[in-house]
Homo-oligomer: A and B are copies of this chain.
Amino acid sequence: MNGNTFGTIFRITTWGESHGPALGAIVDGCPSGIKLGTQDFIPDMTRRQGGNANSATPRKEKDLVQIESGVFQGITTGTPIALRIVNENTKSEDYAAYADLPRPGHADLTTIAKHHHRDPRGGGRSSARETAARVAAAVIAKKILQHFGIELCGFVARIGDLPIPLDAAKQLSISDLKKVTAENSLFLPLSEPASGDWIKLVTEAKASQDSLGGNIACMIYGMPSGIGEPLFDKLNALLAHGLMSLPAAVACEIGAGREASFQTGSAIRDPIGVSDGNLKVQGKKHGGLLGGMTTGEPIFLSVDFHAPTSIPQEIQTASMKTLQTETISVQGRHDSTPLPRAVPMVEAMVAITLVDALCRAGRVPEKLLP
């Protein structure tokens, strides 16, 4: 029981079902002194909905985040910040048809095994809708990171079996990476062919009533060195915990990454040199982490997501009432690929994890004065 809290000092607790009246997050451990208003949430909430946060004319805003506590006169007070998002568009009148038919590839059957009774509307608590609360909470985490000059940028690194040239992306400066991803939040135009191929892939998947998975990568810049808590709470481990808690996450890599496991020891070491009177790792092969602690260099990570299993193609299930097998087709307003929308979700778990790690290292005071 009780897996709805993440973090130790900077700590978020989320609640809410897909088709309930609302959902939200309590952010506890946020320092006082941070400017925070409802407008701050719009860009990432828009990105999560698949919209273009940088477009001049954003569509009618949805998922407006209400701040119900912890902020006075537009500034955080240090008390828990309650964020609440009303579920407006809950077409659940027809859930009854599916209530007794667990959807293959979903959490339906395991939720029944765990709790017996459940809210079947739209996947209930197991819907990806819950990530709205994570993304909202992370807006606050990102503001704290910004105070310390830490920035992060997520992007789609692969759809299906078509990757971008990742090595090139890793070498970009934060401003270049942000520029390139901001121009088009859906497809990173690092590699024109790849981007074009992605559109083709997604179009084909949709046409065949199917869906695609892929990989989201994220770069972190500006972390001070020495952050992370060996042995069990190495920064790698904390990041992996957060990332693998995202819906449909099946694998992740942190720092030097999976590629490093194919190489020899001599190929993955960066030498140490002296810079401005301090010893410093010279190179980026190590991926920003050594021994589970930050080196001060950019940190790389990526997460693999499986394709959505909510597709119109028919599949066999069985009724919990009659114990007879039936064939279902999961209709709905589902994406052919969730990848672009998953970018802010990945950033969310990263941002929250980083702030908590800074807190545990005693780097975040209770009041952040300008």
Contacts and interface: CB of A to CB of B under 8 A. Distances in A.
A213 to B, nearest CB: 4
Contact of A1 (B107, B264, B295, B359): B359
Given A77-B115, A325-B274, A265 B311 contact: yes
A309 interface: yes
Given A231-B125, A232-B3, A295 B109 contact: yes
A63 to B, nearest CB: 16
Nearest to A114: B226
A364 B66 CA distance: 35
Contacts of A308: 265
A242 B292 CA distance: 13
Interface string A62-77: 0000101110100111
A237 to B, nearest CB: 4
A4 B232 contact: yes
A11 to B, nearest CB: 5
Given A4-B28, A29-B2, A72 B226 contact: no
Interface string A100-131: 00101111111111111111110011100010
A6 to B, nearest CB: 4
Nearest to A160: B262
Contacts of A15: 26, 28, 68-70, 79-82
Given A78-B1, A369-B116, A268 B362 contact: no
Interface string A245-284: 1010111111111101111111111111110010101100
A100 to B, nearest CB: 10
A16 interface: yes
Interface residues of A, number: 162
Contacts of A72: 17, 117-121, 124
Given A245-B231, A271-B315, A316-B271, A117 B279 contact: no
Interface string A159-183: 0110000000000000000000000
Contact of A231 (B10, B130, B236, B309): B130
A231 B349 CA distance: 12
Interface string A30-48: 1111000000000000000
A189 interface: no
Nearest to A121: B72
Given A245-B236, A251-B251, A269 B105 contact: yes
Contacts of A254: 244, 250-251
Interface string A302-331: 001111111101011110100111000000
27 contacts: A2-B8, A2-B11, A3-B228, A13-B13, A14-B231, A15-B69, A20-B68, A22-B69, A32-B118, A33-B117, A72-B120, A79-B125, A105-B268, A110-B228, A110-B290, A112-B279, A114-B367, A205-B264, A212-B265, A236-B244, A251-B251, A251-B253, A258-B304, A263-B306, A265-B307, A271-B317, A274-B323
Given A2-B9, A114-B228, A359-B362, 10 more contacts: A17-B69, A23-B68, A32-B118, A77-B117, A77-B119, A104-B271, A114-B225, A260-B306, A268-B309, A282-B316
